[in-house]
């Protein structure tokens, strides 16, 4: 998948992401407030960091604050352990039995990976040890 080729349809997605700032302080505070509201109301939250195509991950890491903001988000989630919160870092497809070559394009992890990721999350959440 030649994401570096500007004529490639996936390259347009990469170029749109060049100014990636979607996890700024304001949005992180919104996420914190939303988590707090969920916990107060007894809502179970399952958070998952899904994989990006290697080319897109590399592009965002080199040209944007993506990696730093993602680290901030992961640190926040891990620092806010709560019985109603589950967190899964599945950026690497092999962590959930996924395939490195299943990506449909830069923005979609692929049908097989989608199915495997959902199966993985459900198996973790509804394992006999987690069900009352």
pLDDT tens profile 96-107 = 999 888 877 766
Domain limits at 100? 9-130
Q: Give domain status of residue 1, yes or no.
A: no
pLDDT tens figures, 8-19: 555 566 666 655
pTM (two decimals): 0.73
User: How many domains are contained in the chain?
Assistant: 1
Q: Give domain status of residue 4, yes or no.
A: no
Q: Give domain status of residue 15, yes or no.
A: yes
**What is the residue-wise DSSP string for the chain?**
--TT-TTSHHHHHHHHGGG--TT-HHHHHHHHHHHHHHHHTT--EEEEE----HHHHHHHHHHSSHHHHHHHHHHHHHHS--TTEEEEE--SGGGGT--TT--SBTTB--HHHHHHHHHHHHHHHTSGGG--
Is the confidence at residue 61, as pLDDT, over 50?
yes
Q: Give domain status of residue 3, yes or no.
A: no
Q: Give domain status of residue 81, yes or no.
A: yes
Q: Give domain status of residue 2, yes or no.
A: no
Residue partners of 11: CB distance under 8 A and separation at least 6:
2, 3, 4, 5
């Amino acid at each position: 998948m030649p994401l570096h080729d500007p004529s490639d349809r996936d390259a347009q997605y990469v170029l749109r992401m060049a100014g990636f700032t979607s996890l700024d302080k304001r949005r992180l505070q919104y996420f914190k407030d939303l988590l707090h509201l969920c916990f107060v109301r007894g809502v179970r939250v399952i958070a998952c960091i899904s994989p990006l195509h290697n080319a897109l991950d590399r592009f965002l890491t080199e040209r944007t604050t993506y990696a730093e903001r993602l680290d901030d988000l992961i640190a926040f989630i891990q620092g806010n352990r709560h019985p109603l919160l589950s967190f899964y870092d599945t950026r690497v497809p092999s962590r959930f039995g996924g395939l490195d070559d299943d990506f449909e394009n830069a923005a979609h992890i692929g049908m097989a990976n989608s199915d495997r990721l959902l199966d993985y999350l459900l198996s973790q959440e509804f394992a006999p040890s987690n069900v009352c």
